[in-house]
Structure formats: C-alpha cells, structure tokens
Amino acid sequence: MEPRISLITLGVADLQRSLRFYRDGLGLPTTWNGDRGVVFFKTTGTCLSLFPYEKLAEDIAPEFLVPRAKFAGIALAHNIRERGEVDRILAQAEAAGARIEKPAQETFWGGYSGYFSDPDGYLWEVAHGAFPFRPDGSLDIPRSAAGSELDRREELTMPVIRTPDERFSDLPGFPYRPNYVEVAGMRMHYVDEGPTGGASTETFLCLHGEPTWSYLYRKMIPTLAARGRVVAPDFIGFGRSDKYTERSEYSFQMHRDMLAGFLTALDLRRLTLICQDWGGLIGLRVAAEMPERFARLVIMNTGLPTGDEQMSEGFKRWREFAANSDDLPVGFIMQRTLVGGAEVDPRVIAAYEAPFPDTRYKVGAMVFPLLVPVTPDDPGSAGMRNARTVFSQWNKPVQVMFSDSDPITRGGDRFFRNLIPTAKDQPEIVIQGASHFLQEDSGEEIARHIVEFVDRTPA
C-alpha cells in the first residue's frame, strides 16, 4: 500500500445542506457539486467528499445501516499559518451553521486550537502552531531521528535546483546585495534596501510577475528607498530563489503559501504592496487574507481572475503559447514586449535571462500562465473570489496605475476602480507609452507617483 490517503468521504443526512455548508459557508471549491448524488471538493492533497449516509452504509454492507454515534472517535483538522485565523475560521463556521464544541484556546502541545461540528456532527479542529507547512500547503511533519534509508534518499533527491551565483555578476543597474530566508524548506531571495528600523518606517513590498524577477524594480528602488524600506522578493522558480524542476510542484496555492510564509518569517508590517502581473494575483490574495500587515495597495497591470469571465484575447494567446512550448525564450519575450524593445541594452535583456541557464530552471515560468484560473472551479478561483469580496469593502488607500499599451490587462484599471471603494479617492493615473512591464519602461516615473501617494495617505 502506498503511503497516501486519496479520499475522505463523509456520510451526510442531507447532501444539499452539507454542500451549502462546505461550499457556500466555508468556501471550499467543488469539482462535482451534487448533481450525481455525490460531492467532491478541491482540497490540497487528500480529497474531501460528501455522500448520503444511508447510501454509504449500504455500499459497505447492510449491517452498517445503523444510527451514527455522536462521537465516532475521529476528527478532521484544518491547520493554518496565522494564530488569528483560528478565531476567524471558527466564527465563519458558526455563521454557516456549525456548532462550536470547544472555543479556541491554548493547547497542551503549545499551539492554539478549537473545535466545531458540521451539520451532521462531524468534528473539525482548527489549529495553529502544530507543524510547519510544505510549499503545496500540506503539513511538514518532521521525521524521527531513526527515519528509514528510503526517507533519507527521498530528502536527498528532492527536485530543487539553484541558479549559480555567477549568473548574477555585474548586472547593469542592479548593485543590490542578495538576502535570503528559508520558507518551508525553500530558499527565497529578496532585495532589502533603505531603512529597516522604527515602527513608523514605511515598507514597500515589490512583487514581480512572469517571467521576470526583482531586477524588474531596479529603476524604482532608489526613489522608494529614499522614502522607506524596499523589500523585493523573487517567487519560487524565479530570480535567485530556489526552483523546482517538476511541474507538479508549482501551484497557485504554493506561491500564495510561500509569500505568506515570507511575510511571516520577516514579520513585515505597514506594507505598501506594489504589484504587477502575477505579483498582483498572489500579492492581492495574500493582502485580502492577511490585511493586518498591509497599509496601502498600488495595483498595476494585473487582475483578480476567478474563471467566471472571459479572459482577454492577448492572455489567451499567451497561455496557448506557454502550453505548447518546450522552452520559454525569456529574452525574446522581454524584447518583444517592452516599448522600443529592439533598442533595449542587450545586457538588460541578458539580466532577465540570468536566472535561467537552461530549460530545467524555467519550469516555474513555463507553468505560471497555466495556473491562472480560467474556469470557475480551477484551483485559485475561490481565493480570487474571496479577494474580490474583501476588496469590495476595503477601507485602506489604493492607487490603481495601469499602462496604456498592455494588450493583456488593458481595461483592468476600470475593474479595480469600480471594485475597491478607496481606489476612487486617488487620481486616475495612466502611465503613457509603457508596456505590460511598466516598471521597466517607466520605473522612475512610477516610483515618484508612489511616493506622492504615500505622502498624501499617512498610515
């Protein structure tokens, strides 16, 4: 038997009631939604399903068709990264119809947890502090010192590679010292410039997209660092951060979890999020789920796709290209996309190619377009819907700033200004003559706009 649990099935008295509880109340996305007499939810790792109790008992054997005891000696668990999330999720469950069996409290094992029961009496523990998380969202339960030889071999052959440091030597306009932090066993690189002390220090969190890295922000860092601390991480699979070589290791959830872990590891707060492309999809989702860490948002050339609307033709062409390519010509993409790309310094194009010596290093970049939710049940769709809900009631300052020459996100600025109430309080800024990668085309101008935005919206 392989060391794997594929499915946990709950026998329920009322399938539609339980579907509403888990899907609508707790926000779990479905793959099958009950029209075939069974419900399957998209969950990380093990799949959760609902099946009518009597049919489940009959499927096993007639003698199992007996009244279910209040406690069957089993409890499901939902472990989370932030202590405050325990109380929030318990309150969410109670609002959806759950019964709180044990309010959140300190535990004997040093964590913080509480229990609720669903409409059929199944017990769920919501817990913080038990174990760290892997990048895919599953628990990283440490092996004992007497782990097997197979365990040790698996650890040694984990499919992770690291771009050689010499690839990053003498990059034009990028004199910044590398910094590293380990998150869920992976080394993440980040630029860290400007003042780092003091509770009143403004911190700018600069998130890149596809297929770039923190080098994209080099023109903005000097101006921002004169106003506050600038932190610009590389996502896993990009820049100087570690890279998986297997496509299956990359997921929207993994990227979300790594960014959340990064913020927690550095304890970053009072953040002004500056995001573009995938930096927006990941960063805005995290901001919606960890709002206490964010003071402002600067949203550029990105979106909150849920799969409920048609994607732009530009994105469809880009996704098709990525899906059907054996390689991703990063330099060619940058040169074709940037305004005046043919005249861009070849050393700059080479700097964008630096993290990717060969195709093994490009797996994360090649997968990224395929992780964008394009159907309502795609992984990531639920997180994007939740972000939309949060931002529709957002009361912190937001500056929307798109470029005028991006075929992929054109019109997205109107979406954000209509969605987020506070976005209407700021001037409508459009960066003229800039492409999808507006930080490269007009970085200095954008940085000045951001400093002005911060100055007029003191936290």
Active site residues: 277, 406, 436
Residue 76 DSSP label: E
Nearest 5 degrees, angle CA 410-CA 236-CA 364?
65
Q: Are strands 179-183 and 123-128 parallel, antiparallel or unpaired?
A: unpaired
Inter-residue long-range contacts of 323-331, CB under 8 Å, 24+ positions, other chains counted: 323/369, 323/370, 325/366, 326/359, 327/359, 327/362, 327/366, 328/211, 328/356, 328/359, 328/362, 328/365, 328/366, 330/211, 330/356, 330/362, 330/365
Instruction: Determine the Cα–Cα distance for residues 456 and 423; give it in Å rounded to an integer.
Output: 14
The values of phi and psi at residue 68, to 5°, are: -85, 135
Q: If residue 413 lies in a helix (H) or strand (E), which one and from where to where?
A: helix 412-419
Q: Could you identify the residue written with the tokens 């010509």?
A: 329
Helix (H, G, I), strand (E, B) or coil at 180: strand
Whose CA is closest to 236, among 218, 263, 254, 261? 254
Locate all alpha helices (DSSP H) within 66-212, ordered by sequence.
Answer: 83-95, 149-156
